[in-house]
Amino acid sequence: MEFLIGNFAELTITGLVLGSVYALVALGYTLVYGVLQLINFAHSEVFMWGTYAVVWVLTLLGASGTSSLAGAAGYLAIALVAAVLMSGGVALIVERFAYRRLVRQNAPKYIILISAIGASFVLSEIMGLRDKIAGFLGLQGVLGDYVNNPRNTSTLPVEIKPEPVLQIGNYMVRDTELLIIISALIMMFVLDQFIRRTSFGRQIRAVAQDPEAASLMGANSTNVVRLTFLIGGVMAGVAATLYMIKVGATGFNVGFVLGVKAFTAAVLGGIGNLRGALLGGLILGIAENYASGILGSEWRDVTAFVLLVLVLLVRPSGLLGESLGRARA
Amino acid sequence: MSESEDILLELEAVTIKFGGVVALDDVSMTIKKGEILGLIGPNGAGKTTCFNVITGVYAATSGTISLDGKSLAKRKRYQITKLGIARTFQNIRLFPSMSALDNVLVGADVHSKVGLLRALFRTPYFRRVEPENKRRAVELLELVGVGAQPDEISVNLSYGDQRRLEIARALATNPKLICLDEPAAGFNPAEKLRLMDLIRQIRDLGFTVLVVEHDMKLVMGVCDRIVVLEFGRKIAEGTPSEIQKNPAVIAAYLGTEEADDDAA
Amino acid sequence: MRAIKASQLLVVGVASALVLSACAAPADTTEGGSGSTESFSIAYQGPLTGADAKYGEYAKAGIEIALADYAAAYPDGPTVTAIYSDSQGDPAQAPALAADLINNADVLGVVGPAFSGETEATEPAYSEAGLVTVSPSATRVSLSEQGWSTFFRVVANDGAQAPAAAKLLTDVVGAKTVFVIDDASAYGVGLGDGIKDALGDKVIGSDSVEKGSTTDFSATVTKVTASGAEAVYYAGYATDAGLIQKQLTAAGFEGTYASGDGSLESTFIETAGEASEGAYLTAAAGAAGDDFVAKWDALTVSDKGSIGVYSTEAYDAAWVILSGIGEGNTTREDVLAWVAGYDAEGITKHIKFADNGEIDGAGGVYYYLVKDGDFEAPVAID
């Protein structure tokens, strides 16, 4: 406890950093749930593919050595575009092949759920077996740098050195940490405005609230669902870039744990609610840090899920509750 | 061929079967541009089925439906809406937690092709279309009498306002034909009178109106022509005064009219 | 109707049998000796994929060299092939794979299990089946205290590594305060606790991070920096070891970072990046000699792994079993007896086992310093 008080600022800020990544990934779960009332279990892999896009594009650009955050800004901007394209594209593929037909035919939810879980495994294993896939295609020679040792950790070719920039309490906040928190907040704000103020946002809300009435008012629900997946993918791409700036390493199986946490964050905040995803992510990140500080790091997962259960006991629909449509009154 | 030019919607020998049950049996009818057509019949006569097949909720088992000469077959619901048919619902289906204005705007979005990129980057097109849609939406709210509270969440509006808001939302799609499904359900006599005025106003704005309604006084008072269904078949068609005298219609309603009045 | 159903069932049955057999099939097999009608197998159990796949790769180099030596030394002996069974180092996956090996009557001995956790999960079954296992790298102390008749290892246990690592930190590094982190695995807890015991009151704090449950160690980093420790020892595996060091350095930690044999592979340096400069890795394993490297270079098999930590131990473990087969021991019972009575010079040390399966007279413990993005040659800690 004394430790928590003494290092309150540091634990809070590093918790917010992790929570920001949770929150951005949680958006993908919450958006799809809001519109389809389905959990997109493949979303964790949408994120994972984004992290690889960052690694690959920097490898392609020949980035190496170490750099300050500002020095790598150009690389990172390109990596961000690549990650957003990759994650957005993978999200659209998931929608097209794991969802669309089943949704259109009104398949039972559990069937679509299994389809999503299957898509998750397929996406993860394609990444984990990419050397063999490149081999089948006869491209292993050309793609060697990108596909060799697919099951080992892949690291960012350029190493980002964080610099202290801002004193909060007794902690010097690093520039990378500041960037991650601010980027996540900006993305959340942009998305929130998009959903509230644009005609596409209106259509998403309309389909979320009453898909049949929405289609009779001229909303193309297939397009709306596709757009929802795309937005979730874009957010996951941003999260992947921020994650790589912070962690600097990824693996074909990195999506699972982060996905479970992000999903937890979405449920904690109230699944289907965008602001809930942000709140849930940040609270989860901080709570994990506090618990690790007080009880020891092996308690972080226990704490995360005990917190989830406690919140759901008091507020069964999560902190902010209610659906995508309703919360956006 | 001046007559056919006046025809907006045409049903030709439309039959709908649900399993072995024939819900609509060889129904042909037309709706002329600029008229208010009433669709009536005893309970279970197939009014709602007829309504749903026109708006694309059901597909016809056989027969054709065309709007302005374009067949509606194989078109998706949203495409039919884009083609120019809008509707309200018997039991209110507003987007419950959107504001009144947003509900209308969803309808208005049909024809403004605001793509993702346009919205994201706020292109000139987007900046021109959004305010235009908003202005029209406000006008429509005023038309139906909900103009005073555009930002109210629709579920918080009074029952009557919700019914009228549905009409505004349907009008926002700028339809050629607006289909009202029992618009007077649950209204008191004063509200019914106002509704009749509203329906005439809508027609005067250039819309064609199809009304399915139980309330005879309203139907007789507002419709130019009436089509009567019984057991899925069309049994009569004509002006209100013709229908009132039609022996088949009287027979169909004998003994059921009372029950209908109670229901209404 | 019934006929259709039956045929559908058949299709499903065949399909699932195919899937099952595909799952159960060994990763790959390699020809070993020649010239005899008899043929047997030795198996490797360890991680060939996953975060710790490097260990499998390193072990494969040793086993392949041993197979080549066997073919040369016993040209008339039975043909021996190696079965590589990929446990991913995961105690949850290992038992099913062990059962497959036990049920495969051709398998006369196992090189492995590679990790302590999977050893705990599978050794009872091996012991019951009488299938001998010789581990090149499972170092948890308690493994030899379970009464398993088939457990042997050619490596000194953490009981030897822990005091040596503590000595490294106090004598070589000169740290007065040490923060010890383990990864809550069988191996990590054993090694970490051993180091804490050996360091006594020089331990200024400790934490336990669950292996694979996160890639963000900020709370642990805060604990370390708040404690003011001069050195950190991480008892766990390479990926996490790298991430922790990187995050420590980013947070301004300037002390010495050390870890154990679990992190002694290139993934550690790749993951930690520049932060890994000056890190110490301890292991009860010395370097491969020039001879060994030359033999590896001469191998002609397509997948011969690569040389790294415990490659030489894997060679010794494989050789103990292979020489038994070459000397005419072709039942599991005979091979087990051969291993228990083994007494000969190996390439890492003299190999003779105590009754509990420990190597007699512990081998030395070494440290490897990271310099210029690579491990320097090992230095003995004494």
CATH value at residue C247: 3.40.50.2300
Label the pairing between strands B7-18 and B21-32.
antiparallel
The alpha carbon of C147 is separated from its chain's Cα centroid by a whole number of angstroms, namely 21
Shared domain for C149 and C176, answered yes or no, is no
Amino acid C122: pLDDT: 96
SS3 of A34-98: the string is: HHHCCCCCCHHHHHHHHHHHHHHHHHHCCCCCEEECCCCHHHHHHHHHHHHHHHHHHHHHHHHHH
B82 touches chain A (CB under 8 A): yes
In the structure, do chain B and chain C come into contact, i.e. share 3 or more CB pairs under 8 Å?
A: no
| Sequence ranges of the domains in chain B | 3-84+175-263, 97-172
In a domain? residue C48: yes
Q: Could you tell me the maximum CA-CA distance found in chain C, to the nearest angstrom?
A: 81
Query: pLDDT for A200-228, tens place per residue?
Result: 888 899 998 888 889 888 888 888 999 99
Residue B209 pLDDT exceeds 60:
yes
Does C243 sit within 8 Å of A151, measured CB to CB? Answer: no
Q: What percent of chain B has pLDDT over 70?
A: 89
CATH class of B3-84+175-263: alpha beta
- Residue C230: helix, strand or coil by DSSP? coil
Distances (CA, A) of A98 to A223, A254, C200: 16, 21, 57
Shared domain for C129 and C213, answered yes or no, is no
Amino acid A14: pLDDT: 93
Amino acid C362: pLDDT: 57
Average pLDDT over residues C112-133: 94
Q: Which residue, chain included where needed, has tokens 């003994």?
A: B255
Fill in the DSSP letter of residue C376.
P
Average pLDDT over residues C340-344: 93
- d(CA A152, CA C113) in angstroms, rounded, equals 20
Shared domain for C152 and C294, answered yes or no, is yes
In a domain? residue C118: yes
Fill in the DSSP letter of residue C168.
I
Shared domain for C294 and C271, answered yes or no, is no
Residue A116 pLDDT exceeds 90:
yes
SS3 of B70-85: the string is: EECCCCCHHHHHHHCE
Q: Number of folded domains in chain C?
A: 2
Amino acid C233: pLDDT: 97
For chains A and B, count residue pairs whose Cβ atoms are closer than 8 Å: 92
Residue C95, preceding peptide bond in cis (omega within 30° of 0): no
In a domain? residue C175: yes
Beta strands per DSSP E along chain C: 29-30, 39-46, 79-86, 107-111, 132-135, 151-153, 178-182, 203-208, 231-235, 256-259, 280-283, 343-345, 350-352, 365-371, 374-375, 379-381
The range of the structural domain enclosing residue C208 comes to: 158-283
In a domain? residue C24: no
In a domain? residue C117: yes
Shared domain for C215 and C199, answered yes or no, is yes
In 3-state terms, chain C is what percent helix, strand and coil (to 5)? 45, 20, 35
pTM score, whole prediction: 0.82
**Residue A245 CB burial class (10 angstroms; 0-12, 13-18, ≥19):** buried
For C208, the closest of A3, A289, A296 (CB atoms) is A296
Confidence of residue C341 (pLDDT cuts 50, 70, 90): very high
Does B112 sit within 8 Å of A202, measured CB to CB? Answer: no
The alpha carbon of C55 is separated from its chain's Cα centroid by a whole number of angstroms, namely 6
Residue C39 pLDDT exceeds 80:
yes
In a domain? residue C145: yes
Contact C362, C269 (CB under 8 A): no
Fill in the DSSP letter of residue B86.
E
Shared domain for C61 and C83, answered yes or no, is yes
Shared domain for C271 and C171, answered yes or no, is yes
Which is more confidently placed, A93 or A273? A93
Distances (CA, A) of C134 to B61, C66, C316: 75, 14, 9
Rounded to the nearest 10 degrees, how much is the dihedral formed by the CA atoms of C154, C158, C162, C165? 40
Contact C80, C335 (CB under 8 A): no
Shared domain for C174 and C268, answered yes or no, is yes
Shared domain for C152 and C300, answered yes or no, is yes
In a domain? residue C152: yes
In a domain? residue C245: yes
Contact A214, B95 (CB under 8 A): yes
Which residues have a Cβ under 8 Å from the Cβ of C376 and sit 6 or more positions away? Answer: C368, C369, C370
Measured in angstroms, the CA of A195 and the nearest CA of chain C are apart by 31
Beta strands per DSSP E along chain B: 7-18, 21-32, 36-40, 62-67, 70-71, 85-87, 177-181, 208-212, 225-230, 233-238
Amino acid C33: pLDDT: 42
Average pLDDT over residues C24-46: 64
A74 touches chain C (CB under 8 A): no
Contact B217, B227 (CB under 8 A): no
User: Quick one: closest CA in B to A209, which residue?
Assistant: B95
Q: C238, C205, C228: which is closest to A297 by C-alpha?
A: C205
Does C210 sit within 8 Å of A174, measured CB to CB? Answer: no
Shared domain for C167 and C258, answered yes or no, is yes
Shared domain for C246 and C341, answered yes or no, is no
